[in-house]
Amino acid sequence: MAGDSSWAVWQQIIATPIFSIGLTLGSYEFGRRLQRLCRGNPIVNPVLIAILLIGGFLHLTGTSYEVYFGGAQFIHFMLGPATVALAIPIIHNLERLRGMRVAVLVGIMIGSLVSAVSGIELVELFGGSRAVAVSMAPKAATTPIAIGVSQSVGGIPSLSAVLAIASGILAAVSLEFLLDLVKVKDWRPLGLAAGTAGSGIGAARAISLHETAGAFAGLAVALNGLTTALLVPILVHFWPK
């Protein structure tokens, strides 16, 4: 009886905002410090480290995700304002962006289209259901946009959220290596690639590398989100069932 009472109290403590938010921010800060100790190695991604730490904690304590999320909803709410805040480096580099309007817009639109089409095709290639396939389509957008688009096209919102985060981490980890491989040294295409393929997580990596990369990444996140929200419903509607 005493054990059951202690367990109930522990569950109530975990569900409080101060504990869940503290656990989330503390795990992310640990990831940041670990990355600095590893001299900025992109493989040691703070978001990935935080996910592993929080997931491990929930597993070891037998705490459900719903209980944890109930206390951490404020961070979920802040995803929207955080995405909007990416406009700050855009304003600082507005003159540079104006000189590349056509190239930037075309590049982001093609990136959005390729991401959506490849996601659907990949799932269908391996015999996945239509619900899973359309859940893959908005994976390159920010998590809030990916969830909203997934809901509107009959996808699985929770799966789209996981895929959006995974895509962001993968982009942040592999971006510099891939661009070095094709001999790209300009911060502008690096930023565009980071924001288009990796949304907010990719943009955060770009910002940490250079302000110009961050400006173009912020622009890519915003425009890719808009393009995804407009394009994916049309694409899914006309996609053969």
Residue that finishes a domain, picked among 75, 94, 110: 75
Q: Which residue has the higher pLDDT, 54 or 16?
A: 54
CA torsion, ordered 27, 150, 154, 241, to nearest 10 deg: -120
Domain-embedded: residue 103: yes
The answer to whether residues 111 and 13 belong to one domain is no
Residue that finishes a domain, picked among 75, 96, 129: 75
The answer to whether residues 52 and 110 belong to one domain is no
**Average pLDDT value for residue range 153-171:** 89
Is residue 71 predicted with pLDDT exceeding 90? Answer: no
Q: What is the pTM of this model?
A: 0.79
The answer to whether residues 110 and 59 belong to one domain is no
Is residue 4 predicted with pLDDT exceeding 70? Answer: no
Domain-embedded: residue 80: no
Q: Which residue type does 148 have? A: G
The answer to whether residues 25 and 101 belong to one domain is no
Number of domains the chain contains: 2
DSSP 8-state class, residue 44: S
Domain around 71? 2-75
Binning pLDDT at 50, 70 and 90, where does residue 19 land?
confident
The answer to whether residues 100 and 33 belong to one domain is no
Burial letters for 217-231: b for 16+ Cβ neighbours within 10 Å, e otherwise? Answer: bbbbbbbbbebbbeb
Residue that finishes a domain, picked among 46, 75, 104: 75
The answer to whether residues 89 and 70 belong to one domain is no
Assigned token pair, 208:
């940490």
pLDDT reported for residue 52: 93
Is residue 89 predicted with pLDDT exceeding 90? Answer: no
Binning pLDDT at 50, 70 and 90, where does residue 232 land?
very high
Q: What is the mean pLDDT of the chain?
A: 84
